[in-house]
C-alpha cells in the first residue's frame, strides 16, 4: 500500500476511533517541546531502538491533548504516559493508546526528573534495592537511581493498565523514550553544576532504564536536545542511548537534526521532532 493510501486508510479508521472514544472535538494546538547536550562515561548499556522505515512521519500526544482533536494522518503514533511529571497520570492515556494503535504498535514516553530529597515527596529514603538509599546519605547516586526505578515502574504500570483496558499489545513490546526536559526538576539545574548533581541526575535516568528493561522493554531511548541534556547530565552518553531530537521547529530543521553530528549521547538519532498543524510531528531518521 502506498504512503498516501495508508494515510487515507488511517484517517478513516481514526475518525471512527475518535467518535467512539469521545475525542472528536475541536483542535487544541500544542507547540513542539523546547529542549537542549555533551559526553560523560556511559553508566549502562542500552539496546538500540528497533530499525524503522526511513523518513516515515508520525505524531506524539499526551495530557495536553486531552479533550482535543488528535492527528488523523501519519505512519506511527507515540503516547506520553505521564501528566508532565513522574508519578503523575495522563488522564487520557487509554484513549490515546487507541489513537496511536490506529497507526500500528504505539510507542511510549515517560516524564523524568531528579528532584532530590529536599524537593520530592517520592524520595526513596530507606529503600534497599536495587540500590541502598540511607537516611544518613539521602542525596546520593543510589537514592537517585532508586527514584528513577520507582518512577519508571509507576509509568509502566499505568501504560500496561491502559493498554489492557483497550485490548492493545502489552507496552513491554514497544519502544520507550525518556523525556528529559528542563521544565522538570533536576539537581544540576536547581543547585548548580557541581559534579555530584549531574551524576545523580544521570543515575535517576539509568534507574529508569533498568526498571524498563526488567519489565521486558528491549528498546529505550532519550528525548531531549543538546542543551538540556548537557545541563541535566553533564553530557552523559547513557550507554550511547538512541536519540529522539526534540523541538527542532520546521520539517526542514528536523531533517537537518537527523544528522549524526546532532547526537548528544553518541548514539544513533532515530527521530526528530517538528511542529505541524498545531501538533508535534516526528520524522524517523
Domain housing 274: 37-284
Contacts 24+ apart (CB under 8 A), 167-172: 168/97, 168/98, 168/101, 168/106, 169/105, 170/216, 171/106, 171/108, 171/217, 172/215, 172/216, 172/217
Within a domain: residue 28?
A: no
Within a domain: residue 134?
A: yes
**Distance (Å, whole) CA 154 – CA 142:** 19
**DSSP-H helix ranges across the chain:** 3-21, 93-101, 141-165, 187-191, 196-214, 226-233, 251-256
CA dihedral 176, 179, 184, 189 (to 10 degrees): 120
In eight-state DSSP terms, residue 224 is E
pLDDT on residue 15: 39
pLDDT on residue 2: 30
CATH of the domain at 171: 3.20.20.80
> Domains in the chain: how many in total?
1
Within a domain: residue 11?
A: no
pLDDT on residue 74: 95
Within a domain: residue 140?
A: yes
pLDDT on residue 54: 57
What nine digits make up the cell of 59? 505524531
62 contacts 78 by C-beta, under 8 angstroms? no
**Distance (Å, whole) CA 108 – CA 208:** 14
What nine digits make up the cell of 93? 492515556
**Residue located via cell numbers 501538533:** 279
pLDDT on residue 36: 31
Within a domain: residue 22?
A: no
Half-sphere exposure of 162 (CA within 13 A, CB side): 27
Tell me if the bond preceding 130 is cis, omega within 30° of 0. yes
pLDDT mean values, one per 10 residues, the chain (285 residues): 36 38 34 31 35 74 96 96 98 98 97 96 97 97 98 98 98 98 96 92 98 98 98 97 97 97 98 96 98
Within a domain: residue 57?
A: yes
189 contacts 231 by C-beta, under 8 angstroms? yes
213 contacts 242 by C-beta, under 8 angstroms? no
What nine digits make up the cell of 44? 549502562
Within a domain: residue 16?
A: no
Geometric angle at alpha carbon 263, from 78 and 221, rounded to 5°: 35
Within a domain: residue 26?
A: no
pLDDT on residue 69: 94
218 contacts 150 by C-beta, under 8 angstroms? no
pTM higher than 0.85: no
Amino acid at each position: 500500500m502506498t504512503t498516501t493510501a495508508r494515510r487515507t486508510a488511517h484517517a478513516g479508521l481514526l475518525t471512527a476511533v475518535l467518535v467512539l472514544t469521545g475525542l472528536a472535538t475541536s483542535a487544541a494546538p500544542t507547540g513542539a517541546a523546547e529542549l537542549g547536550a555533551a559526553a560523560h562515561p556511559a553508566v549502562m548499556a542500552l539496546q538500540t531502538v528497533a530499525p524503522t522505515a526511513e523518513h516515515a512521519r508520525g505524531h506524539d500526544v499526551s495530557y495536553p491533548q486531552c479533550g482535543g482533536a488528535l492527528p488523523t494522518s501519519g505512519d506511527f503514533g507515540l503516547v506520553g504516559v505521564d501528566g508532565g511529571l513522574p508519578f503523575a497520570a495522563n488522564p487520557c492515556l487509554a484513549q490515546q493508546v487507541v489513537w496511536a494503535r490506529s497507526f500500528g504498535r504505539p510507542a511510549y514516553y515517560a516524564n523524568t526528573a531528579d528532584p532530590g530529597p529536599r524537593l520530592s515527596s517520592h524520595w526513596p529514603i530507606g529503600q534497599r534495592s536495587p540500590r541502598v538509599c540511607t537516611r544518613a546519605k539521602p542525596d546520593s547516586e543510589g537514592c537517585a537511581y532508586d527514584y528513577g526505578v520507582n518512577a519508571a515502574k509507576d509509568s509502566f504500570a499505568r501504560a500496561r493498565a491502559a493498554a489492557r483496558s483497550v485490548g492493545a499489545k502489552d507496552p513491554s513490546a514497544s519502544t520507550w523514550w525518556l523525556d528529559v526536559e528542563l521544565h522538570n526538576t533536576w539537581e544540576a539545574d536547581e543547585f548548580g553544576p557541581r559534579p555530584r548533581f549531574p551524576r545523580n541526575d544521570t543515575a535517576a535516568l539509568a534507574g529508569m532504564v533498568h526498571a524498563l528493561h526488567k519489565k521486558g522493554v528491549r528498546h529505550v531511548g532519550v528525548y531531549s536536545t543538546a542543551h538540556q541534556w548537557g545541563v541535566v547530565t553533564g553530557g552523559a552518553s547513557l550507554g550511547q542511548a538512541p536519540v529522539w531530537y526534540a523541538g527542532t521547529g520546521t520539517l526542514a530543521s528536523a531533517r537537518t537534526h537527523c544528522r549524526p553530528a546532532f547526537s548528544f549521547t553518541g548514539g544513533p538519532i532515530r527521530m526528530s521532532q517538528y511542529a505541524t498543524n498545531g501538533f508535534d510531528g516526528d520524522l524517523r531518521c
